[in-house]
């Protein structure tokens, strides 16, 4: 046999000159894309943090058989000094090696201001959407996986989110800019992603702040979720996923009953909606559609306190005016809901409480500047059983309350020891973790006995005067929604506070 014959192709086997075998990950992006409702060849922007999840997603995109147009965007929060710069440099090198265009965006955030997690998340999504839009790309991918979705669900569950917030992370979400946010890795667990990278010898960056226990998500990730998984041998995780799917299905069904309601703007920028179209809905639907309408109209989500106040006025058929995020105003007239833009010539109402303490008589009541009323009464009930479940009402051990009760607004440096917590913490951090928006925090009444906060009204009591087995008498305190003003409101003379001028009778 001649040497030439030795090089002849063998039937059924590839020739030696043929291209090398495709990478084992070359078909994985197509499967994830189809599951997320995308075409594998669609151009996408990827939020690349340098962590395992986004790095894995970048490798899938870069090695996919379809090879879509990809723009990797790294948001540098600048909060971790040299580590932040090293993350950005790692992402730039990785993209250069894979031949993927890379953009680095620096975000300016105040690390001392409250609500850092929420502010960083909002700034990050705004930057990602803006960069994608500038590049003509309608889709932004993030590396969120199944554990991220469970952590979000547990966070929202424990802080008492309303029904629309319970499903946790959704696979697809449309940003306010119109850019679609897609999370294609939600079917994978954290350790599955890391194992896949290790098996290929691929590196990623670890964010040390992910282990910082001052962040609620860290405590859920490192404490609550592992404990649930270990104590139920994994059944709790599957149950939580099923629960999230059930809530999401219910949400979709409810949304179909309110999707037709929207603002009707006029030439002046004011928008209207018939009051009866919202008031005639069942209570649960009223809350969800008001939350959506306020968000769509003002561009900001209303906090629970504000939403409760609007609902109270709507259900009682009262005329009223409410200040919305961004300086917008909501007028409840006899026939309509009217949305007034900022600078419309109407003075904005003030909802902030007086920082000076005012006495809450026991028994008695105190009218707050925004029209809400705090009431206090003695309850002859012993023991610790039967505590009210409504967050707007609390019962405390009367014998543990030294001196008269006082009410004031939050102050810088306030500390609280929340009921059920291991110790004291800064009030501003507690309110942020409880999901109270920054704009609502100045209107949270604090009830004090002496120098100690005993109730963060509408949120949670503290450990200071909690009910005990030895309790003999209780003080019941309730936070009532604003009532219509009259010329002789019985609470005004006792509170020493000025009636708000923005409400109408």
Cβ neighbours of residue 136 under 8 Å, at least 6 residues apart? 43
**In 3D, which of 234, 220, 315 has the Cα closest to residue 276?**
315
pLDDT score, position 494: 31
Q: Pairing state of beta strands 139-141 and 102-106?
A: unpaired
- Range 4-32 average pLDDT: 57
- Range 298-327 average pLDDT: 79
Q: What is the DSSP annotation of 400-465?
A: G--S-EEEE---TT-EE-BTTSSS-EEHHHHHHHTT--GGGGGG--EEEETTEEEEETTTEEBSTT
User: Contact 401/267 with Cβ under 8 angstroms?
Assistant: no
pLDDT score, position 135: 93
Radius of gyration of the chain (CA): 28
Q: How far apart, in Å, are the Cα atoms of 241 and each of 157, 167, 182, 187, 235?
A: 13, 9, 18, 10, 10
Mean pLDDT, the chain, integer: 76
Q: How many residues does the chain have?
A: 505
Q: Pairing state of beta strands 393-397 and 336-340?
A: unpaired
Helix axes 283-298, 304-315, angle to 10 degrees: 120
pLDDT tens per residue across span 148-193: 555 565 555 555 444 444 444 566 778 778 889 998 887 676 777 8
User: Contact 141/45 with Cβ under 8 angstroms?
Assistant: yes
What is the Cα–Cα distance from 4 to 6, expressed in whole angstroms?
Answer: 5
Range of lowest pLDDT (226-240, 242-256, 354-368): 242-256
The percentage of residues in the chain with a pLDDT greater than 70, rounded to a whole number, is: 70
List helix spans (H) across 64-210. Answer: 82-98, 116-134, 146-158, 190-199
pLDDT score, position 353: 64
> What residue segments make up the domains of the chain, in order of their start?
28-247, 264-340, 358-495
The pLDDT confidence band at residue 248, using thresholds 50, 70 and 90, is low
What is the Cα–Cα distance from 497 to 356, expressed in whole angstroms?
Answer: 11
Domain 264-340 coded CATH 3.60.21.10: no
- Residue 185 DSSP class: B
Q: Given 3-state DSSP classes, what are the helix, strand and coil percentages for the chain, each rounded to the nearest 5?
A: 35, 20, 45
- Range 400-417 average pLDDT: 89
Q: What class, spelled out in words, does domain 28-247 have in CATH?
A: alpha beta
What is the Cα–Cα distance from 20 to 30, expressed in whole angstroms?
Answer: 20
Is pLDDT above 90 for 46? yes
Helix (H), strand (E), coil (C) string for 106-119: ECCCCCCCCCHHHH
Count CB atoms within 10 A of the CB of residue 347: 8
- How far from chain centre, in Å, is Cα 266? 32
pLDDT score, position 431: 87
pLDDT tens per residue across span 4-15: 333 333 344 344
What is the Cα–Cα distance from 360 to 496, expressed in whole angstroms?
Answer: 11
- Which pTM does this prediction carry? 0.45
The pLDDT confidence band at residue 391, using thresholds 50, 70 and 90, is confident
Helix, coil or strand: residue 23:
coil
**In 3D, which of 363, 463, 455 has the Cα closest to residue 419?**
463
- Range 420-439 average pLDDT: 82
> Hey, which CATH number is domain 358-495, 3.40.50.2300, 2.40.50.140, 3.50.40.10, 3.30.230.70?
3.50.40.10
User: Contact 482/309 with Cβ under 8 angstroms?
Assistant: yes
pLDDT tens per residue across span 73-82: 999 887 777 8
Of 96-100, 202-206, 242-246, give the range with the top mean pLDDT.
96-100
What is the Cα–Cα distance from 487 to 489, expressed in whole angstroms?
Answer: 6
Is pLDDT above 50 for 404? yes
pLDDT score, position 43: 95
Give me the phi and psi of 288, to 5 degrees please. Answer: -70, -40
User: Contact 353/465 with Cβ under 8 angstroms?
Assistant: no
pLDDT tens per residue across span 137-147: 999 999 876 55
Count CB atoms within 10 A of the CB of residue 236: 16
- Strand order, beta sheet including 139-141: 102-106, 70-76, 44-47, 139-141, 180-182, 172-174
């Amino acid at each position: 046999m001649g040497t030439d014959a030795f090089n002849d192709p063998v039937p059924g086997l590839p020739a030696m000159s043929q291209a090398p075998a495709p990478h084992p990950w070359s078909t994985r992006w197509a499967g994830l894309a189809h599951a997320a409702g995308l075409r594998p060849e669609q151009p996408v922007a990827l939020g690349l943090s340098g962590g395992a999840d986004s790095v894995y997603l970048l490798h899938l995109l870069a090695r996919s058989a379809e090879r879509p147009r990809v723009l990797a965007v790294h948001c540098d929060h600048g909060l971790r000094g040299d580590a932040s710069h090293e993350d950005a440099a790692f992402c730039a090198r990785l993209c250069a090696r894979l031949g993927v265009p890379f953009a680095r965006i620096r975000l300016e955030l105040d690390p001392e201001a409250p609500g850092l997690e929420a502010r960083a998340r909002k700034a990050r999504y705004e930057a990602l959407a803006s960069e994608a839009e500038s590049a003509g790309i309608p889709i932004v991918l993030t590396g969120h996986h199944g554990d991220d979705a469970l952590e979000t669900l547990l966070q929202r569950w424990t802080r008492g989110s309303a029904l629309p917030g319970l499903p946790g992370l959704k696979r697809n979400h449309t940003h306010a800019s119109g850019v679609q946010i897609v999370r294609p890795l939600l079917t994978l667990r954290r350790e599955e992603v890391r194992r896949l990278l290790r098996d290929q010898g691929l590196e990623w960056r670890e964010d040390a702040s992910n282990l910082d226990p001052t962040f609620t998500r860290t405590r859920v990730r490192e404490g609550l979720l592992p404990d649930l998984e270990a104590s139920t041998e994994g059944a709790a995780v599957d149950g939580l996923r099923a629960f999230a799917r059930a809530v999401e299905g219910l949400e979709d069904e409810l949304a179909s009953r309110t999707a037709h309601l929207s603002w009707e703007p006029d030439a002046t920028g004011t928008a209207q909606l018939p009051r009866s179209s919202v008031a005639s809905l069942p209570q649960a639907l009223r809350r969800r559609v008001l939350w959506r309408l306020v968000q769509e109209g003002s561009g900001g989500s209303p906090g629970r306190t504000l939403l409760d106040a609007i609902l109270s006025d709507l259900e009682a058929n009262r005329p009223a005016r409410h200040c919305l995020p961004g300086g917008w105003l909501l007028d409840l007239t006899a026939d309509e809901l009217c949305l007034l833009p900022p600078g419309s010539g109407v003075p904005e109402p003030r909802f902030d409480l007086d920082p000076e303490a005012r006495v809450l008589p026991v028994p008695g009541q105190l009218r707050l500047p925004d029209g809400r009323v705090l009431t206090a009464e003695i309850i002859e009930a012993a023991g610790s059983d039967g505590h009210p479940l409504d967050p707007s009402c609390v019962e405390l051990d009367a014998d543990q309350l030294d001196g008269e009760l006082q009410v004031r607004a939050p102050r810088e440096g306030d500390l609280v020891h929340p009921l059920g917590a291991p110790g004291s913490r800064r009030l501003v951090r507690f309110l942020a973790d409880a999901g109270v928006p920054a704009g609502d925090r100045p209107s949270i009444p604090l009830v004090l006995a002496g120098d100690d906060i005993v109730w963060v009204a509408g949120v949670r009591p503290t450990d200071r005067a909690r009910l005990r087995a030895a309790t003999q008498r209780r003080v019941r305190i309730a936070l009532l929604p604003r009532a219509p003003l009259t010329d002789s409101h019985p609470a005004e003379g006792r509170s020493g506070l000025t009636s708000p001028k923005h409400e109408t009778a």
